[in-house]
Structure 1
Amino acid sequence: MNQEWESIVFHDSLKDGRAGCKLRIEGLRAIGETENKEKFVLDLRDVEIALGGTANNVIYLKPKNNKHEAKFSVRDRSILNALKEVGSADILDQVQSFQKKVWGHRFWLLWSFILFDIILFGTLGIFYFYGVDIAVSMIPYQVDEKLGNAIFHSSLDSIVASQSIDPEVQKAIEKIFQRLLDALEEKPYTFALKIVPSPDVNAFALPGGKITVFTGLIQKSETPEEVAGVLAHEIIHATQRHGMKKMVQHIGMNMLIYAIIGNDISTVSDLLLRNSKEFLGLHYSRNMENEADEMGFALMKKAGIHPKSFQTFLRKLPDTAGNFSSATEWLSTHPLTQKRILKMEELLKNSMQGFEEKPLDVDWQYVQKALK
């Protein structure tokens, strides 16, 4: 039995000019038979083979000269092998030419997909590395301040309100803080310092310039300069909007879409505020930490505070057993790596030309005793 292919026959005698049919090859004829037993014949000695369809996946058999003959379309490319067996040199040439076109089309599709993937993943890569920065740059600074206040009030307000800080301790830490702020060239926010009575060795910058330091970290610091190093680091996290960036990364694509559209800042703000409780558990990226280290180093220099004190603080955080003991809180959100310490050493060797130290006028012995 001859092989048959599902086909569509085109002819003026048909209703709508077309109909489904079964197509078979018999000698030098292509014969299509519809469900109504109507037969249509195409002389293969006068056939033109063409490629068509929206995806170039349809084979057309149509008459070259007698335009009144039937025309057929077939999707099954196995019909090409049957056509080659007809024995016509013209058909053989057409089939070979057609197959070259098919392979050329497949090759073009393959490279189109490859190019599309390159563009897609390249765009995603750019978006991954730069999309957050672009989105955050479109969010007003007032949103940072609103978010920072919400985080503080929801997480720390009750702790601060329940316990008082010795006024002299408050003044001492504020004096260190103000020295750093005076050296800061651009202040996008009204900075504020909050001291939290807690044994945890921790400090962080909330979005909007609210810098929070725990009494446990102050006690861990042997000198006021060590506290200055941590505060400088946190101030840079605030000025570079690292907190807002990690919130945007946490919330994901929806946040970016809202921000990039840029027409509904209240929606952006609401979305951030709804996720504000997640902030304290989010980690800074390695790049953020490196940026805060290097820019904090420069800020300390400008303020006349020797940056080696921050390196000293970093070095003593891990204990001799390799654990992070009481410093786990700060380290949990500020990942410490050997590269960071080595980078600080490099900066201390190569970037201290012209530095003039101005000692901090703070009674550190009193601070330490008051916190015991």
Structure 2
Amino acid sequence: MAIPARYYDGLVSSAQDAELRYEQDAGGALVVLGPSGAELARWPAGALHLVPAPRGEIRLGANGVADGARIVVRGDDYIGRIRATLPLLTQRQEQERGRQIRLMALSTLALAAVIAAYIFGVPLIASRLVQLVPPGWEDGVGQTVASQIEASIGGDAGLPLCDADPESLANRAIARFAQAALADTNAPFTPDVRVVRSDIPNAFAVPGGRVYLFSALLDAARTPDEFAGVLAHELGHVVHRHGMEQLVSTAGTGLLVGFILGDMTGISVAAGVGASIIDARFSRAAEREADRFAARVAQRLDFQPWALANLIGRVAQDSDFDRALALFNTHPLTEERLRDLTLLGQDRPSGLEPPFTEAEWRAISIMCRR
């Protein structure tokens, strides 16, 4: 007895009423007959496969026919007859389900591997990846990050600089110190130190050579050694490109993709990370490198690198915990670091030039006072 069905030839959207007949000759074939008994299609049994269908319906497709060609059968009795006549359909369905499960498992493992590489792999090799970044591109990325930071600090009013005159005694002294610190380092960036009004005692460097020092930290510095120590430390982050390393760790492979695609401004990956740089904590290795750089600067200029530890420790003991959080959290003063800073301050040459004259330090110390 023939099985009633609906036949879609894949060429037009309308369906035709049809009947199905199975012929066992030559490997078997499913024959589709029209209302007049004319043969509409003949699909070899070996080419048949199941197509996803709602409950109470079975849909058949075949390899080598037009896309969209379907045979639709409704009714549990008719569906049972088809499955009994063509047991390979069920076997192929199970095989396809197993293939999809394996594919999903492999996709999940691949995704997990990508996530693991992003979270663990990229930060581990960030210092090496930074060497692939041209300094000119880092400078462009730094400008993007800096614009975000300055917008978050100053808003529409602009960056609240303590002293906007670059030719003032304080600014000229700070610029001279920064240039002297970077002398003989082959650093590709021109240092740009900006002292900003803020109640948060913090200092940080961004990619490309710009350093921000908040007025609350300057007010907390009691000696030129403490100020010179924190400034030399931040310039050490500039020389070793730790800001770019932090950005690579944060943005991951997207930063390198941006480089490959020619995004030389870094807007596609730097957007939204400016504010996070303020509270970013460098690795212990990066902090050690910056401390050692400050110690090397202290070999040429007369200040004690361990004075930085005094400043960090004093800020950490501030009665206002929220103010203390910034510098102490981003520059943690571990016992190991305190010991290293103390050792770095020993055996310094005599007869060194001080980093600032008395007049310069007096101008620096009051530059943020209204």
Q: TM-score band, normalised by the shorter chain?
A: 0.5 to 0.7
2: CA distance, partners of 1:4 / 1:48: 18
Matched, 1:346 2:336: yes
Moved more, 143-152 or 312-321: 143-152
Partners of 1:160 and 1:315 in 2: CA distance: 27
Is residue 191 of structure 1 aligned with residue 191 of structure 2? yes
Q: Cα RMSD over matched residues?
A: 5.6
Match of residue 295 from structure 2: 301
TM-score by length of 1: 0.60
Distance change in 2, residues 1:2/1:193 (3 Å): same
Query: Are 1:203 and 1:213, in contact at CA under 8 Å, matched by a contact in 2?
Result: yes
Q: Deviations over 1:109-143 (max 9, x none)?
A: 22112212332453355456649966982563553
Contact 2:7 2:16 in 1 (8 A): yes
Which of 112, 115, 118 is the matching residue for 2:103? 112
How many angstroms apart in 2 are the aligned matches of 1:149 and 1:337?
18
Residue by residue, what CA displacement relative to the aligned partner does 1:23-70 show, whole Å, maximum 9, x if unpaired?
Answer: 4679x9977554x45465999xxx835445899x974689xxxxxxxx
After superposition, where does 1:256-271 map in structure 2 within 5 Å? Answer: 258-262=258-262, 265=264, 268=265, 271=267
Q: For 1:93-132, what aligned pairs fall within 5 Å after superposition?
A: 95=87, 97-123=88-114, 126=117, 130=122
Q: CA 1:284/1:103 → structure 2, altered by over 3 Å: closer, same or farther? A: farther
The one of 120, 133, 137 equivalent to 1:137 is 133
1:160 to 2:163 alignment: yes
Residue by residue over 1:208-254, the C-alpha shift from the partner in whole angstroms, topping out at 9 and shown as x without a partner, is: 31334344422212333332342234224434555567778999999
The more displaced of 103-112 and 141-150 is 141-150
Check if 1:311 corresponds to 2:309. yes
Partner of 1:336: 329
Q: Is the 8 A contact 1:9 1:32 kept in 2?
A: no
Q: 1:240/1:256 Cα in 2 relative to 1: closer, same or farther (>3 Å)? A: same
Structure 1 residues 121, 281: closer, same or farther in 2, change over 3 A? same
Give distance in 1, aligned partners of 2:232 and 2:108.
43
Residue type of the partner of 2:81? Answer: A
Q: TM-score, normalised by structure 2?
A: 0.60
Residues 80, 302 of structure 1: CA spacing in aligned structure 2 closer, same or farther, 3 A cutoff? farther
Q: State the SS of the aligned residue for 2:103.
A: helix
User: Aligned in 2, Cα 1:6/1:223: closer, same or farther, shift over 3 Å?
Assistant: farther
Q: Distance in 2 between matches of 1:195 and 1:242?
A: 20
- Deviation, structure 1 residue 299: 1.0
Secondary structure in 2 matching 1:341: coil
Whole-angstrom CA distance in 2 between matches of 1:41 and 1:209: 76
Distance 1:199 1:320, change over 3 A: closer
Amino acid paired to 1:316: R
**Equivalent position SS for 1:283:** helix
Q: How far, CA to CA, are the matches of 2:41 and 2:203 in structure 1?
A: 85
Distance 1:347 1:288, change over 3 A: closer
**Matches of 1:164 and 1:171, distance apart in 2:** 6
Name the CA distance, whole Å, in 2 between partners of 1:75 and 1:301: 84
Question: Would the aligned equivalents of 2:315 and 2:328 in 1 still touch at CA under 8 Å?
Answer: no
Please say if residues 9 and 21 of structure 1, whose CA atoms lie closer than 8 Å, have aligned partners that are also in contact. no
**Contact persistence 1:246–1:282 (CA under 8 A):** no
The 1:37–1:232 alpha-carbon spacing in structure 2 relative to 1, beyond 3 Å, is farther
| Contact persistence 1:7–1:75 (CA under 8 A) | no
Cross-structure match for 1:361: 354
Give the counterpart letter for 1:310 in structure 2. Answer: L
Task: Call closer, same or farther: CA 1:115–1:229 in 2, change over 3 Å.
Answer: farther
Paired residues of 2:48 and 2:62 also in contact (CA < 8 A): no
Unaligned runs of 5+ in 2: 53-57, 64-68, 152-156
Q: Which amino acid aligns with 1:180?
A: A
**Unaligned regions of 5+ residues in structure 1, if any?**
63-70, 86-90
8 Å CA contact 2:304, 2:345 repeated in 1 = no
Could you tell me how far 1:8 is from its partner in structure 2?
A: 5.0
What is the 5 A alignment of 1:1-372?
A: 4-8=4-8, 20-23=16-19, 32=32, 34=34, 36-38=35-37, 48-52=45-49, 59=60, 73=71, 81-83=80-82, 85=84, 91=85, 95=87, 97-123=88-114, 126=117, 130=122, 137=133, 140-143=137-140, 155-156=158-159, 160-161=163-164, 167=169, 169-170=170-171, 173=174, 177-178=178-179, 180-182=181-183, 185-196=185-196, 201-241=201-241, 258-262=258-262, 265=264, 268=265, 271=267, 281-284=275-278, 286=280, 288=282, 290=284, 292-303=286-297, 304=299, 307-319=305-317, 323-325=321-323, 331=326, 336=329, 340-342=332-334, 345-349=335-339, 352=343, 356-357=347-348, 361=354, 367=361, 371=366
Retained in 2: the 8 A contact 1:229–1:296?
A: no
Distance in 2, Cα, partners of 1:61 & 1:208? 62
